[in-house]
Amino acid sequence: MPESAAQQSLAEVPLTELVACHECDLLMRRPVINDGERVECPRCGYELYSHRPQVIRRSLALVLAALLLYIPANFQPIMQMTMLGQTSHDTVWSGVLGLYDAGMQSIAVVVFLCSMAVPLLKLLCQLLVLLSICLKIGRGYGFLLYRIYHHMREWGMLEVYLIGILVSIVKLADIAELSVGFGLFCFIALLLVQVWLEVTMSPHQIWEALAGEDARARH
Ligand SMILES: [Zn+2]
pLDDT at 219 over 70: no
Instruction: Calculate how far, in angstroms, residue 45's C-alpha sits from the geometric centre of ligand 1.
Output: 6
Give the DSSP letter string of 149-197: HHHHTTT--HHHHHHHHHHHHHHHTTTSEEEE-HHHHHHHHHHHHHHHH
* Confidence label for 104 from pLDDT (cuts 50, 70 and 90): confident
Instruction: Calculate how far, in angstroms, residue 213's C-alpha sits from the geometric centre of ligand 1.
Output: 29
CA gap 215, 11 in Å, rounded: 25
Residues belonging to the chain: 219
Q: Report pLDDT digits (tens) over 42-87.
A: 889 888 877 777 888 899 999 999 999 999 998 888 877 777 777 8
Instruction: Calculate how far, in angstroms, residue 19's C-alpha sits from the geometric centre of ligand 1.
Output: 11
Tell me the pairing of strands 177-180 and 79-83: antiparallel
- pLDDT on residue 50: 75
* Confidence label for 217 from pLDDT (cuts 50, 70 and 90): very low
Adjacent-strand bridge partners of 80: 89, 179
Q: Report pLDDT digits (tens) over 136-146.
A: 887 888 888 98
Query: For residue 148, which phi and psi values (nearest 5 degrees)?
Result: -60, -45
- pLDDT on residue 61: 94
- pLDDT on residue 214: 43
Q: Report pLDDT digits (tens) over 162-215.
A: 777 777 777 777 777 778 888 889 989 999 999 899 888 888 788 888 887 444
CA gap 84, 190 in Å, rounded: 33
Mean pLDDT of the chain: 81
- Contact between residue 114 and residue 155 where contact means Cβ atoms under 8 Å apart: yes
pLDDT at 127 over 90: yes
Question: How many C-beta neighbours within 10 Å does residue 66 have?
Answer: 24
- Contact between residue 180 and residue 74 where contact means Cβ atoms under 8 Å apart: no
Q: How many CA atoms lie within 13 A of 157 on its CB side?
A: 12
CA angle 166, 167, 168 (to 5 degrees): 90
Q: Is 89 helix (H, G, I), strand (E, B) or coil?
A: strand
Instruction: Calculate how far, in angstroms, residue 15's C-alpha sits from the geometric centre of ligand 1.
Output: 18
- Contact between residue 91 and residue 78 where contact means Cβ atoms under 8 Å apart: yes
Instruction: Calculate how far, in angstroms, residue 21's C-alpha sits from the geometric centre of ligand 1.
Output: 5
Instruction: Calculate how far, in angstroms, residue 210's C-alpha sits from the geometric centre of ligand 1.
Output: 25
Instruction: Calculate how far, in angstroms, residue 119's C-alpha sits from the geometric centre of ligand 1.
Output: 30
- pLDDT on residue 218: 36
Instruction: Calculate how far, in angstroms, residue 32's C-alpha sits from the geometric centre of ligand 1.
Output: 18
Maximum separation of any 2 CA atoms in the chain, in Å: 81
Q: Residue ranges of the domains in the chain?
A: 15-51, 53-217
Instruction: Calculate how far, in angstroms, residue 27's C-alpha sits from the geometric centre of ligand 1.
Output: 9
Look up the pTM and report it.
0.76
CB burial readout 125-151, b (16+ within 10 A) else e: bbbbbbbbbeeeeebeebbebbeebee
Instruction: Calculate how far, in angstroms, residue 153's C-alpha sits from the geometric centre of ligand 1.
Output: 22
